[in-house]
Chain A
Amino acid sequence: MSAAAFQTKFNVRFTDRRSAISLAAFAAALVALVCAPWWAGRDTLYLLEEIFAYVALASLWNLLAGYAGLVSIGQQAYVGLGAYLLFALTIFADIPPLAAIPLAGLIGAAAAIPVAALVFRLRGHYFAIGTWVVAEVFRLLASQVSALGGGSGTSLPASIVIAIAPSRAMREFVVYWIALALVVVILGLILLLLRSRYGLALTAIRDNELAARSNGVDVARVKFVVYVFTAFGTAMVGALIFLQKLRISPDAAFSVNDWTAFVIFITVIGGIGRIEGPIIGTIVFFALRQTLADLGALYLLMLGAVAIIVMLWAPKGIWGLIVQKLDWQIFPLQRRVVFAPPAESPARSQT
C-alpha cells in the first residue's frame, strides 16, 4: 500500500443530485403554502395550521426520542405550559400576542431545566412515566390558577384577539402565516442542529449510545441540551395552537391524547430517527382522519393498533422503508464522503 493512496483527497458533502431535486420540490410546495390564504378557504387554512402544528410537535418528539433516545410521554407538559404562558403574558403582562409566542418558548425552556434535573435521574421506561408525572403536575397546578379559570379554563379576551389584527380575515391570515413560519423555523433549527457537530453526536447516540460515549461524546450534556431545546419548540407550538383556538382549559392544554398519543403514533408510523418521518406520518395521519372522521373512540383504537403493527413489523416506519429500498433523502442531512478522482497528484494533496 503506497503512501499516496492515503493522501487521496475527499470532501464531505450533504447533497447529491437526487436530494437536490427533492429539496427543490419541497421549496415549491413551500411557496404554494405561503400563498394559501389566497387560494384556500377558512376550513382548509385551519386544517393546514393543524398539520403544521403536528409536523412541528412530531419533529421535536422525533428529535428527543429518535435521536437523543429520550422517550418522553409527557411533552404535553410544555404544550400546555406554552399555552398558559401565552394567555398569562397577554392578559396580565400586556405583551402583544405575537411577541408572547417566542417569549412563551423561552420561559418553557427555562422551566425545562429543573424538570430535566429531576427527571434525568430516571432511566428508560421509568424516565418515560416520570415525564408523564411532570405533565400531570403541570396540569394540576394549572387548574389551581383561578385567575385563568381554574379547572374549567377561560377564553382569550376580545381586546387581545383584536390586537392580533384589526379584521377577522386578517387575523386568520396572520395566525396562519405565524403557524407556517413557526414550523419552518422549527424544522430549520432541527436541521441546523443535526448538521452541526451536535448533530453528529446525536446521530451517534441514536445509532449506538455506548459506542458514542466511548468515543468521547458527552452524552448527558447533549441529551440535556436537546431536552431543553425541544421544550422551547414545543412551548411555542402550544402557545400558537391555543392562540388559534382562543380558549384554554387544563384538560385540553395538557391532553395526553392530543399532544402525546397522536404525536407518537405519527412519528412511529412515519419513521423514527429520520427527519422526513414526522412529515410523512402527519400526512398519513390526517389522510386517515379525513376519511375516518366519524368513528370517535374507534379511530384512536385503530390508530393504536396500526402503531403497534408498524412498531413490530416495520420499526423504521414508512420513511424507513423508503430509505431502505431507494436510499433517498429529501433534506440534505446524510454526510456523504466523496472521493476526489485518483488523477490528483500526491504533491497537491499535501497542502
Chain B
Amino acid sequence: MQWVNTIVQGVLTGGLYAMFAAGLSLIFGVMRLVNIAHGDFIVLAAYLALVVTEALGIGPLPALLMVVPLMAAIGYALQRGLLNRTLGDDLLPPLLVTFGVSVIIQNGLLELFTADSRRLQAGAVEVATWQISQGLSVGLLPLLQFVAAVAVIGALQALFYRTAFGRAFRATSDDPAVAQLMGLDNRHVFGLAMALSLAVVGLAGVLLAVRSNFDPSIGPARLIFGFEAVIIGGLGNLWGTLAGGIVLGVAQAIGAQLDPGWQLLAGHFVFLAVLAVRPEGLFPRIRG
C-alpha cells in the first residue's frame, strides 16, 4: 500500500511539473525560443503572491487573481521590450539574454528578500487529506493542484485548436512572414504568447508557494523539471507533456521512497534513459 501511496503522490506532483512545462513548450512552439529564466519567473510569481498576501491581508486564491494578470503583463513587456530583439537565426542571443535575465531575477530576489525560505499560508486546505480507502489517502492540496494542471492544459489545447487566437499562434509559428500577410503583427503575437506563458507560470508559482518552501535559488530546478517533462513526453504535444510530468513525478517519488537522497537523481536517470532509448519522447506529435 505504501507503494501505491508513493505512486499517487508522484502522479499528483507530476501535474505541477506539467504546468511548469506547459509555459515552456508553448513558447518553443510559437517562436522557437526557450526561456532559461522560466523557472526563475515561477519563483518571482511566488514572491509576488507573498507580497500581495502580506500587503493586502488576503488569501492565496484572491492573490492568484492579481498575480496571474500581473505576470501576463510582465511577459508581454519582456517579449516586446527585450526578447523580440533576440529572435532570428542565431541561437546565442536569446539563450544568453534569457540566461542574463535568470541571473538578474535570482539576484534581485536575493537582494530584496534574502535567502530565507518562505511559504504561502493557505489555511486548513494545506493539511487536509482525502481518505480514499484503507491505507490510501491523498492530500487535498496536491489533488486540487493536479486538477488545476489538467484544466490548464485542457484550456490551452482548446485555445490553440479551437479559437482564432490559437490559429494566429499556430500560423505565426508555421510561417512568420506569411502570417504578416494575414494582418498579424509578429511582435504583438509573440508578446501575447509570452504573456500567456507567464500567466501559466504565475498560476504555477502560486501553487508552488502554497505547496512547498521557496527561496530565490530554486528557479533553475523548476526549469529543469519542466524541461525534463517536455522531453520525456515528446515535443509538440501538451497532453504528452502532462504524461511526461507524471512519469517524472512518479520516478522522483519512487526514488525518494528508496532513499531521500535519490529523489532528484531518479528523475534525472529516467530523463536520460528516455533520451538514450527514445529521444523523440514517449508521445511525440506525428507531423502530418
Contact = CB atoms under 8 A, between A and B. Distances in A.
A–B interface present (Cβ within 8 A): yes
Interface of A: 65, 69, 71, 73, 118-119, 121-122, 124-126, 128-130, 132-133, 136-137, 140-141, 143-144, 256-257, 261, 264-265, 268, 272, 296-298, 300-301, 303-305, 307-308, 311-312, 315
Nearest 9 pairs between A and B by C-beta? A125-B34, A304-B103, A301-B107, A308-B100, A297-B107, A304-B100, A121-B279, A297-B110, A304-B104
A141 B264 CA distance: 10
8 contacts: A71-B92, A133-B228, A136-B224, A144-B261, A257-B103, A264-B96, A264-B99, A311-B97
Interface of B: 28, 33-34, 36, 82, 85-86, 91-97, 99-104, 107-108, 110-111, 220, 223-224, 227-228, 231, 261, 264-265, 268-269, 271-272, 275-276, 279
Contacts of B96: 71, 264, 268, 307-308, 311
A26 B46 CA distance: 51
A58 to B, nearest CB: 14
A213 to B, nearest CB: 15
Given A143-B261, A312-B97, A126 B104 contact: no
B33 A125 contact: yes
Contacts of B100: 265, 304-305, 307-308, 311
Most buried by A among B33, B91, B107: B107
Nearest to B37: A304
A129 B275 contact: no
B275 A121 contact: yes
Contact of A133 (B91, B94, B224): B224
Contacts of A118: 272, 275-276
A301 B108 CA distance: 7
A125 B224 contact: no
B107 A272 contact: no
Contacts of B231: 122, 126
Q: Which of A136, A297, A298, A305 has most B Cβ within 10 Å?
A: A297
